[in-house]
Amino acid sequence: MKIALIGCSGSIGRQVAEVVREHPAHFCFSALIGGKDAASLEALCAEFHPDFAGLASGGEVHLPAGTRLLKGEELLHAFDGADVALIAAGGFAGLPYTLRAAERGIRIALANKESLVCGGELVTAAVKKFGCDLVPVDSEHSALFQALSFRRDTPFSKLILTASGGPFFKLSKEELQTVTAADALRHPTWKMGPKITIDSATLLNKGYEVIEARWLYDAPFENIEAVVHPESIVHSLVSFADGAMLAQLGYPDMKLPIQLALTYPERLPCVKELDLISLGALHFFPLPKEKFPCYSLALSAGKAGGTAPTVLNAAAEIAVSAFLEGRIGFPRIAEVIDAALQQLPREDVCSLEQLQETDARARRFAQSLIYD
Ligand code: MG
């Protein structure tokens, strides 16, 4: 199976490479596209010899003979000859790739949740039009997909997403005023990139995942819930009309959802089996929405629909990077997002270009709040 991997040097990208290393008879890379890290792209190309490679930043890269460098608009040709597109680029930047992969009609293994948060209408329309298979890599949505026996037409009554609660679950509102980026980056159960780790601390990530579930499983918002599950062993649950509930359990390791998105309904050996006895007990708590306003902001933007989630995400990308740089405090992330949602009017979605303009406008607005 030939994989075109978009976002090869991030946390997910590196784990995709591990999966390919572990199953060389099943997988290879037809394309490797990175962000701006030339050294890691070069190392991956020397190891895997893809047909195409490139950097979104357009930087110089030294590639082995036989690997063609893609630049600028050419990057969207990364899917030529691929069997599956694995979209692991971070943020809004992943959306054009997801749409192009959909046009090619190949399977999309989607790790970029912003493609659905911001572009849910465009992506689902393209997936339908070109008849491609959109498979979640996000662990919660992979769990739902498995609990639905890989059939999106299975009738269900509720989707229940689990959340680790992040590093600040137990802190009071007062304590949250003074937490730092270093505190937020110490996630209790999952090892992830910095942006999603902060989004997990603010619960914005869980809000995104509700929107993601809404598009993937065509579920109304009132049928999607989130609960805190600090052990991160139950990856999500589906409940049915008769009260039955099905879940997928496993140790927190992204390799399983990555691999399954590539091979489903087949399963290959992957991570070690759960040791139930040593786990002993699993816990569930209500989501502390009042302490973490980003969750409700995401849900209201999701319900408003149109361009609102794109505004939400653009403001969040700016605010989170400012928080990571120590420029703003933790509670300010939600305030910046809220202000952007109030300032920029919601529009119906008609094109990628419109979303790109909305994204740029919301970024400028959020930057003016933080830096002016
Ligand atoms: Mg997730």
Report CA(294)–ligand 1 centroid distance (Å): 16
The string of pLDDT tens digits covering residues 80-113 is 999 999 999 999 999 999 999 999 999 999 999 9
Among 213, 88, 119, 90, smallest CA distance to 162 is for 213
Say if residues 86 and 64 touch (Cβ distance below 8 Å). Answer: no
- Answer yes or no: is pLDDT of 271 > 90: no
- Answer yes or no: is pLDDT of 27 > 90: yes
Say if residues 120 and 211 touch (Cβ distance below 8 Å). Answer: yes
Report CA(208)–ligand 1 centroid distance (Å): 9
Among 333, 12, 356, smallest CA distance to 204 is for 333
Report CA(138)–ligand 1 centroid distance (Å): 5
Q: Which domains does the chain have, with CATH numbers?
A: 2-136 (3.40.50.720)
Report the sign of the C-alpha dihedral through residues 228, 90, 94, 252, in that order.
negative
Report CA(46)–ligand 1 centroid distance (Å): 31
- Answer yes or no: is pLDDT of 187 > 80: no
**271 or 42: which leads in pLDDT:** 42
Query: Which residues, in sequence order, are CB contacts of 203 under 8 Å at separation 6+?
Result: 163, 166, 287, 289, 292, 294, 295
Report CA(137)–ligand 1 centroid distance (Å): 8
Report CA(84)–ligand 1 centroid distance (Å): 21
Report CA(141)–ligand 1 centroid distance (Å): 7
Report CA(72)–ligand 1 centroid distance (Å): 30
Q: Residue 326: its pLDDT value, please?
A: 95
- Answer yes or no: is pLDDT of 59 > 90: no
Measured distance CA(67)–CA(50) in Å, rounded:
6
Report CA(192)–ligand 1 centroid distance (Å): 10
